[in-house]
Structure 1
Amino acid sequence: MNWIENLLIIGGVSLDIFATMECEGSVVAKIDKKKLAEISILTVVFQMAVLYLGSLGSGRLMRQEGVAENEILLSNVIAAIIFAGLGVHLIIKAVRNERIYEHRQDTFSWKKILLGIVGTGIYTLLAGFAFGLMEIRMRACILLLGVCSLLMVIAGVYTGYRFGFEQKKKAYGIGAVLLWAAGIDVLIQYVLTRI
């Protein structure tokens, strides 16, 4: 996989982080930069760890001796299905468009943030699982995810603070398109060329 494919996948997953943090930014009276830094660090570390664990779990399956060509082909198909499924779930979240009770809070709600981080971690875990199935080297992906997560937390909080939570629907839609594009690319490059 090249860096563009990795960026599509990580960008799609990171836009879920953006939407989650946008909702939190829309209700705070003032952004506490120290707490935002804590949230950013927590999110980045958690996302990077979850991506690695996901790839580690499926990567062990692929590192067994004697993996046949048809098993590699099947693992690429499963990875494409995972990316497509993640995109479908983001579209469902966009269509469902859960309303946020917008009321000002003095500070961030750690309970909501932790639940949001764990929720987005499920997407990241599945993406890591798909990366492991495709035997992707994870160092660059983990670093890219760390940078994207950091940017999405900050951008999401400030976007929510300035404009409310209405941009989350667009973020989910764009994330879904990025994941679908990655899934189609995997099918074309790694499945159809081997048939």
Structure 2
Amino acid sequence: MTILILVLISIGVSLDTFALMVTQGSLMPKIKFKTVLSYIGVFSLWQIIAVLGGNIIAKYPLGLYIKETLNKDYIFSAVLILVLGGLVISKTSKKTKFLERRMDLIDFRNVHYLAMVTSLDTLLVSFSLTLSSIGLTILMIFALVNTTISIVLGMYAGYAFGYEIKNKLRYLSATILIISGIGIII
């Protein structure tokens, strides 16, 4: 697996967080440095948990079995990435009403929920890439750097432009993941 595929996968996963932060940024009356740091801390914690969880799952009997039997030429890893792309598309295509209103206080219970939900993508990717013999350190660095960048840029983009670009970002995320999955197969 090339470094380009790894970078594309990490960008695809981080665009989901970026889209979520666009929504959060659109709700804020003013973006404070403390607020951004709080989001980075919470999301980074969940990303670390997801990367470690995916790594642990891949190294136990079921993961070892999959690695030895089903993951020839990284096909199983590619299928997982393709499934993740499909899940992002299905999540985006659901039409939900969104009331854009100012949020004066941060609801940390909601922030933890959002971080946990977005980290499920990272868990699946971490499991897939660990099966493909990508090291834990590399996965952790990519997850933390992409999360930080996604939160900062997403909040400011949402603050400046509103939440309308969220679905376009998610479709872009799904497209990148699907291209990455096909790239792994090829």
Normalised by the length of structure 1, the TM-score is 0.86
- The DSSP-based 3-state class of the residue aligned with 2:59 is helix
Q: Aligned partners of 1:97, 1:64: CA distance in 2, in Å?
A: 39
Distance 2:18 2:63 in 1: 34
| Structure 2: runs of 5+ lacking an equivalent | none
| Equivalent residue, structure 2, for 1:193 | none
3-state secondary structure, aligned to 1:22: helix
Question: In the alignment, which of 172, 175, 184 is matched to residue 182 of structure 2?
Answer: 184
| Counterpart in the other structure of 2:32 | 32
User: Hey, what does 2:8 align to over in structure 1?
Assistant: 8
Aligned to 1:170: 168
Shift of 1:32: 2.0
Is the alpha carbon distance of 1:161 and 1:63 closer, same or farther for their aligned partners in structure 2, counting shifts above 3 Å? closer
Alpha-carbon deviations, 1:64-117, whole Å to 9, x = none?
69x75x54418x222111111111111122222433211112133323221111
Cα drift, residue 130 of structure 1: 0.5
Deviation, structure 1 residue 13: 0.8
Corresponding residue for 1:118?
116
Counterpart in 2 of 1:142? 140
Partner secondary structure for residue 47 of structure 1: helix
What's the RMSD between the two structures over aligned residues? Answer: 2.1
Alignment of 1:45-84 (within 5 A): 45-61=45-61, 70-73=69-72, 76-84=74-82
Aligned counterpart, 2:154: 156
Aligned residues: 185
User: What is the percent sequence identity of the aligned residues?
Assistant: 26
Farther-moved stretch of structure 1 (33-42 vs 106-115): 106-115
Which stretch has the larger CA shift, 27-36 or 9-18? 27-36
Evaluate the alpha carbon distance shift between residue 123 and residue 153 of structure 1 in structure 2; reply closer, same or farther with a 3 A threshold.
Answer: same
Distance change in 2, residues 1:126/1:63 (3 Å): closer
Larger radius of gyration: 1
Q: What is the CA–CA distance in structure 1 between the aligned matches of 2:70 and 2:103, rounded to whole Å?
A: 52
Tell me the SS of whatever aligns to 2:101.
coil
Hey, what's the Cα distance between the residues in 2 that align with 1:128 and 1:86?
12
Query: Structure 1 residues 158-167 or 100-109, which shifts more?
Result: 100-109
Q: Per the alignment, in what secondary structure is the counterpart of residue 102 of structure 1?
A: coil
- In 2, Cα distance between the equivalents of 1:4 and 1:137? 16
| CA distance in structure 2 between the partners assigned to 1:87 and 1:64 by the alignment | 24
Between 176-185 and 56-65, report the one with greater CA deviation: 56-65
